Amino acid sequence: MEWQPDLINWYVDGILYHTATPADVDPNEWVFNRPFFMLLNVAVGGNFGGPVGDTATFPQSMLVDYVRVYQGPDSAERFEASFVDNFTGWQQVTVPFADFVRSADQPAGAPDDGLTLSDVWGYGFSVPAGIGDVMLDQVRVEPAPLPTALTVTNLNDSGDGSLR
């Protein structure tokens, strides 16, 4: 499998088996430009490959020649917020998400799509030189309250073999 932004190619024995692009799921969202994990298994049926035929025999086995994983460069969008520490001892500091602005220092290839918190991969703190001791405790993200009801509707029933 070769996984690139807006393109996934699947190979079997070096032969291109299937290609997927955002147009294949349109008008739905192409979610594959986000972090994922890779699972190697003998999957049967579903949208990919079609329904299971009457000639299928079980159990099956799968041999994997090799798996090689590459990671692209760090191109995550950076945001920053600041506050003034003008007190002594411990004090709770709350920095609202609305206070975060896009940092002027961005890596090459960083998107410019705003702070969504859907893909937060880390955080850091910077303090002025010569500030003295800095202690942090219980750093956390406090999300907005969850909705009280959720309705899921699937408009993509592809018939036999589809995930419904």
Instruction: Check residue 6 and give its pLDDT.
Output: 92
Residue 11 belongs to some domain of the structure = yes
Residue 8 belongs to some domain of the structure = yes
Residue 150 belongs to some domain of the structure = no
Find the domain containing 14 and state its range. 1-72
Instruction: Check residue 149 and give its pLDDT.
Output: 66
The type of residue at 105 is D
Instruction: Check residue 161 and give its pLDDT.
Output: 52
Nearest CA to 19 out of 62, 53, 48, 52 is that of 48
Q: Which two tokens stand for residue 117?
A: 């918190």
18 shares a domain with 61: yes
Long-range contacts of 46-52 (CB under 8 A, 24+ apart): 46/161, 46/162, 46/163, 47/158, 47/161, 47/162, 47/163, 48/18, 50/161, 51/160, 51/161, 52/161
Residue 128 belongs to some domain of the structure = yes
pTM of this structure: 0.45
Q: Which range is most confident: 18-32, 120-134, 147-161?
A: 18-32
pLDDT value at 160 more than 70: no
Residue 110 belongs to some domain of the structure = yes
Long-range contacts of 43-46 (CB under 8 A, 24+ apart): 45/161, 46/161, 46/162, 46/163
Instruction: Please report which confidence band the pLDDT of residue 5 belongs to, taking 50, 70 and 90 as the band edges.
Output: confident
Mean local confidence (pLDDT), 25-50: 80
